[in-house]
Amino acid sequence: MRLFVAIDLPWEVKEQLSELSCNLPGARWVPEDNFHLTLRFIGEANRLQAEEIDLALASLRGRGFTFSLSGLGWFEKNGRVNTLFAGVERNEDLARLQTKVGTALHRVGLAPEKRRFTPHVTLARMDQAVTPALTSFVQANNLYRSVPIRVDNVTLFSSFLGKDQPTYTPEAEYALA
């Protein structure tokens, strides 16, 4: 089973984000049900590993906080845009939570994440060079700000890769307090 740890978003924010989808050439829009903020991608895990991950995440402690989504951007790989995303305003509580998740998972034998944590919500998948249409879309929507999003728990999701879009299923929720 493929696993990841994320913050699920409230419906009102998911609906706001889905309203951003438009006829942008090359964009494969993420369904609103799938919007989330990934804290740590785990990948394939067997049943024993999943149980250890569950126990590690159940031991997380912290206090709730709020954060806001802010602006749009894209990630590139080998000179091609692969992800269009909504960014996150700088937030020390969010960074601290992500570090705690990473530490808990490292204790059960998962290698540390190699990439620097860049909090975001994926809006669309792409595979193309930067185009004027993409640049215009991001500039036109760069003032996007979400309502404050309250975080009182994190969720362990499983991911099933389907033909068109992956299906994400919440497997367990872990309260921070």
Among residues 14, 36, 40, 100, the one annotated as catalytic is 36
Pair 112, 98: CB distance under 8 Å? no
Among residues 14, 40, 100, 120, the one annotated as catalytic is 120
Pair 45, 36: CB distance under 8 Å? no
Q: Is 120 labeled as catalytic in the residue annotation?
A: yes
Phi/psi at 130 (5° precision): -65, 130
Pair 3, 110: CB distance under 8 Å? no
Q: Is 36 labeled as catalytic in the residue annotation?
A: yes
Q: How many CB atoms lie within 10 A of CB 25?
A: 10
Short-list 4, 172, 137, 151, CA closest to 64: 151
Catalytic (active-site) positions: 36, 120
